[in-house]
A and B are shown apart, each in its own frame.
Chain A
Amino acid sequence: MLWSSQHRWVRPASLLFTLAWVCGLASWALARDLVIGQGTDVSHLDPHYSTSASDVNVYFNLYDNLVMRDENLNLAPGLAASWKLVDDKTWQFKLREGVVFHNSDPFTAEDVKFSLERAIAENPRTSVYAALNTVERVDILAQDTVNLVTKQPDPLLPTRLSYYGGMMLPRQYFEKVGMEGFRKEPIGTGPIKFVEWKKNEHLVFAANPRYWRPPIPYARVIYKPYPETASRIAALLAGEVDFITAVPPDQVEVIQKSGTAKVEGALYAGFFNYTINVKIPPLDNTLIRQAMHYAIDRQAIVKKLWRGRGVVPNDAYPNVDRIGYDKSKPPFEYDPKKARGLLAKAGYKGQEIKVESAVGYLANDKQLTETVAAMLQDVGINAKVQMLEYSVRAQKLRQKAFEGLMLGDPTSTLLDPDGMWWRLMQPGGLVDYWRHPEWDRLMGEARFLQDPKQRDAHYKQAAKIFLDETPMLIILQPEKTFALKKDLNWKARSDEIVVVYDLRPAK
């Protein structure tokens, strides 16, 4: 007899095992690859040293944060199963159990401490330092519990942790292989794990079978750079890639008509607006700034330049902000007559006003700037267009050397007024040109208030001052547009992050 009685159970069990293995292998083999075409290649895979969009898009899939955002951008448990405010300055995070890194090391409180301390290190200072420097220290209470103590009360800490900089890195692995080794073969806890990277060619990841949520339905996720927009779109239409980022408004129709691909967009979590250097006459005159506000036909800009893919703003904050934003206000008004009246009242004598912009940095930047300047000229403002190269703009930005109006695209990184106007316009901020004691007080106080109602009231009051004083010429809230194959389902997010986990084959 070939099978002894004591081994008789082995046969059906091994058959079952083989069958399961074959099925598993077959489903893996049948699983498709997901190819994502971006405008540029990733610069490196160390999440603490880059905040560029194409890099962050990969980081959010390779690594996980303690707190995540769901499809509707609401905060949701990530590597932290729950969190609570212990006292004004202490947030307590309970970690999710059973999470492992791609090398099977368990995820623990030690990793949280290591990651956050590295992010806010003084020397060398990381690229994400400013986003997380409200944290004073990380206290480990148990293997699954940490307290994050902040320098001041920080109601936004969970939000900050959901954004860049809040990614969890493996302490043990990092200590073993060092920074060089980590950058060569990075590991995280995310749904994709690193396989291979040929610079400017492809970046390959495999599905993480031990992910703490059900694994993604792809064998591999591949990122490819297509710097030229026309080629990127052609690659999607030819089926070479499944998903592309940065689709310009004028290409939407081509994709929609193709029959094989579709377009998905979400309103940008921020504005396209012109920062006004209020220190330069005649821009120091509030009436002239108000006149500019009424001189812009925003509806025409959205309709013609963005082909309807955007909205005319109605408040000092974009409509994605969770606090402070008032949706009952009407969209900004276009009233050239009022603009002319305000100019006359201000005694405007036709002094030249420069309207600056980088070329090719933002979608439609050149066209928008020319249009805005023409609209200003229509009401009698002597507007002069000045186009700059991107790095020259960056330099002027840093040196606070704007010569008049400068186009920008401030993002509400935390979907909160603190993450946009206060981040940029606070004393010493990147675009600190305008100061108003009451606005400063309201914004400065609001960021430390743990009561959401109080914060909301502060921001609403601050918005009124902001709109009266017009330190920024807000133009529009454009849509950020992506395109994907028709057999995929995905909902675009206002924060522009492409979360592979949410990108699903259509049933």
Chain B
Amino acid sequence: MRRYLIRRLARTIFALWGISTIVFIVMRLSGDPAVLLLPQEASVEDVRRLRQELGLDEPFPVQYLRFLGNSLRGNFGESFRHKEPAMRLVRLHLWATLELSFAAFCIATVVAVPSGILAAVKPNSLYDHAAMSLALVGQSAPTFWIGIMLILAFGLGLPWFPIGGRGTWKHLVMPAITLGAFAMASIARLTRSAMLEVTRLDYITAARAKGLGEGRIIWRHALKNAAIPIVTIMGLQFGALLGGAVVTETVFSWPGIGRLAIQGIYNRDYPVVQAAVFTAAVFFVGINFVVDLLYTLLDPRIRYE
């Protein structure tokens, strides 16, 4: 297990280095921040001076090595636009994104897993068709559209929930449902297919022959064996929620890192984008790691050596 952990850690570091490097290169290829930061009246000389101040006039490898050195110390530089440390900005926005993603994940799981199981228990029933059609809508409707529809229905038509901003639990409801819709749909569909597959196996037939109750068969025997793909998709979806919150955050004016990163991209605010992507990557890799460890708990046959 220890060797596995070391190997895994090495791979994680490699992944984070790779992601940071890609972001570093892509951002620098995509445009000059000095041009966007200065007002139109600024002269060529002003632009040159600002580039020098921001350290953008140095050769590419020098900039890269400085970036690597600084980021190892957790210093991603100062935001060009906000004039404060990029990592501090990311930290301020991270909590909001975690809150939203976690709420979305809880809603998605609480709705999706039982729905998927019920659909699998009664395949081709009216309930199955209804649940899976709804899941299809959840998976294919753009997040943006779901968000606006919720705003029109429950923000404006029935003024139950606030439309934008963060603060009370009420602020969280609509963005969490919007963000969770896609995950909800995929988890429900996967739970259904995984359960269907397992319930066809011989040991379930044996359990039934033994005269066990249907509830016990489903919850104790079938679900445990169907859990691996479900947990995998849940893990992946949680990571996707973190990274995919951009649209939801924009529609609901949610002050999360997705929005911060998008603003950073528009303004070519390299330090903010690098810090935000790095942080999101850490979470994504971390969640994958937790999921891998969960496998061993769910299926004792899985061992990491």
Interaction A to B = yes
Measured between C-beta atoms, what is the minimum distance from A230 to chain B in Å? 5
Give A230 to B151 CA distance when docked, in angstroms. Answer: 9
Interface presence of A130 (CB below 8 A): yes
Residue of A nearest to B81 (CB): A43
Q: What is the size, in residues, of chain B's interface with A at 8 Å between Cβ atoms?
A: 49
Stretch at the interface among B38-46, B194-202, B216-224: B38-46
Q: Are the CB atoms of B83 and A392 closer together than 8 Å?
A: no
Stretch at the interface among B106-114, B205-213, B237-245, B259-267: B259-267
Contact with A along B29-40 (1 / 0, CB 8 A): 011100111111
Q: Are the CB atoms of B152 and A130 closer together than 8 Å?
A: no
Q: List 13 A-B contacts (CB under 8 A).
A: A37-B164, A49-B83, A124-B49, A128-B39, A199-B260, A200-B260, A201-B255, A202-B165, A224-B253, A228-B253, A231-B163, A234-B163, A239-B159
User: Given known contacts A127-B38, A130-B42, A183-B83, is B165 in contact with A238 (CB within 8 Å)?
Assistant: no
Give A199 to B92 CA distance when docked, in angstroms. Answer: 8
Give A198 to B255 CA distance when docked, in angstroms. Answer: 9
Residue of B nearest to A40 (CB): B263
Interface centre among A225, A391, A424 (most CB of B within 10 A): A391
Interface presence of A423 (CB below 8 A): yes
Residue of A nearest to B89 (CB): A199
Q: Are the CB atoms of B163 and A394 closer together than 8 Å?
A: no
Interface presence of B229 (CB below 8 A): no
A240: which of B31, B49, B164 is its contact (CB, 8 Å)?
B164
Measured between C-beta atoms, what is the minimum distance from B250 to chain A in Å? 5
The chain A residues found within 8 Å of chain B, CB to CB, are: 37, 40, 43-44, 46, 49, 51, 123-125, 127-131, 183, 198-202, 224-228, 230-232, 234-235, 237-240, 390-392, 394-395, 397-398, 423-424, 428, 430
A394: which of B31, B159, B165, B263 is its contact (CB, 8 Å)?
B31
User: Given known contacts A43-B81, A237-B156, is B53 in contact with A127 (CB within 8 Å)?
Assistant: no
Q: Are the CB atoms of A428 and B43 closer together than 8 Å?
A: yes
Measured between C-beta atoms, what is the minimum distance from B53 to chain A in Å? 7
Q: Are the CB atoms of A43 and B30 closer together than 8 Å?
A: no
Contact with A along B6-32 (1 / 0, CB 8 A): 000000000000000000000000111
Give A392 to B53 CA distance when docked, in angstroms. Answer: 22
Residue of A nearest to B83 (CB): A44
User: Given known contacts A235-B163, A237-B156, is B32 in contact with A395 (CB within 8 Å)?
Assistant: yes
Q: Which residues of A contact B162 (CB under 8 A)?
A: 240
Q: Are the CB atoms of B36 and A44 closer together than 8 Å?
A: no
Q: Which residues of B contact A239 (CB under 8 A)?
A: 159
Q: Which residues of B contact A428 (CB under 8 A)?
A: 43-44
User: Given known contacts A125-B49, A183-B83, is B268 in contact with A200 (CB within 8 Å)?
Assistant: no
Q: Are the CB atoms of A226 and B253 closer together than 8 Å?
A: yes
Interface presence of B76 (CB below 8 A): no
Measured between C-beta atoms, what is the minimum distance from B159 to chain A in Å? 6
Interface residues of B in 35-77 (CB under 8 A from A): 35-44, 46-47, 49-50, 53
Give A230 to B147 CA distance when docked, in angstroms. Answer: 10
Measured between C-beta atoms, what is the minimum distance from B99 to chain A in Å? 12
Residue of A nearest to B88 (CB): A199
Give A240 to B40 CA distance when docked, in angstroms. Answer: 35
User: Given known contacts A231-B251, A234-B155, A237-B156, is B47 in contact with A44 (CB within 8 Å)?
Assistant: no
User: Given known contacts A200-B93, A201-B165, A391-B35, is B82 in contact with A43 (CB within 8 Å)?
Assistant: yes
Q: Which residues of B contact A46 (CB under 8 A)?
A: 83
Give A286 to B43 CA distance when docked, in angstroms. Answer: 29
Q: Are the CB atoms of A398 and B35 closer together than 8 Å?
A: yes
Q: Are the CB atoms of B152 and A234 closer together than 8 Å?
A: yes
Measured between C-beta atoms, what is the minimum distance from B163 to chain A in Å? 5
A-B contacts besides A199-B89, A224-B253, A391-B35, 20 pairs, CB < 8 Å: A43-B82, A44-B82, A44-B84, A127-B42, A130-B39, A131-B41, A198-B92, A199-B82, A200-B253, A201-B166, A224-B164, A227-B253, A228-B251, A231-B151, A232-B164, A394-B32, A394-B35, A395-B31, A423-B41, A424-B40
Q: Are the CB atoms of B255 and A200 closer together than 8 Å?
A: yes
Interface presence of B252 (CB below 8 A): yes
User: Given known contacts A200-B255, A201-B255, A394-B31, is B250 in contact with A228 (CB within 8 Å)?
Assistant: yes
Q: Which residues of A contact B49 (CB under 8 A)?
A: 123-125
